[in-house]
Amino acid sequence: MSVAVVYLSRGLGGGRASAEAFFETYRRFPAGREHELFVISKGWQSGAELDLVTKLVANMSGNIIAMPDDGYDWGAYFRLAWYLKHDWLCFFNTHTKIDGDRWLELLLHAAESPGVGAAGATGSWGTLVPQFYLRHLLRPGMLLYPPRYFGSIKRFPSFPNPHLRSNAFVVRREVFLAFAAQSIFPRAKRDAHALESGRAGFTSYLMRRGLRPVVVGKNGRSFEIESWIESETFRVPGQRNLLIKDNQTENYSLADRKMKFVMEESAWGKTFE
CA 119 to CA 110: how far, in whole Å?
Answer: 6
Is the pLDDT assigned to residue 150 strictly greater than 90?
A: no
- Domain locations along the chain: 3-126+161-268
Give percent helix, percent strand, percent coil of the chain, each to the nearest 5. Answer: 40, 20, 40
CA 236 to CA 261: how far, in whole Å?
Answer: 10
Is the pLDDT assigned to residue 167 strictly greater than 90?
A: yes
Is the pLDDT assigned to residue 209 strictly greater than 60?
A: yes
Contact (Cβ atoms closer than 8 angstroms) between residue 9 and residue 19: yes
What is the rounded average pLDDT for all residues in the chain? 92
The structure's pTM equals 0.91
* ω into 160 cis (within 30 of 0): yes
**What ranges in the chain are assigned the alpha helix state H?**
15-28, 47-59, 72-81, 103-111, 131-135, 147-155, 173-181, 189-197, 202-208, 247-254, 257-268
Helix H or strand E encompassing 5: strand 3-10
List, in sequence order, every residue forming a beta bridge with 170; answer none if it has no partner.
90, 119
Write the pLDDT tens digit of every residue in 77-91: 999 999 999 999 999
Q: Which CATH architecture has domain 3-126+161-268?
A: Alpha-Beta Complex (3.90)
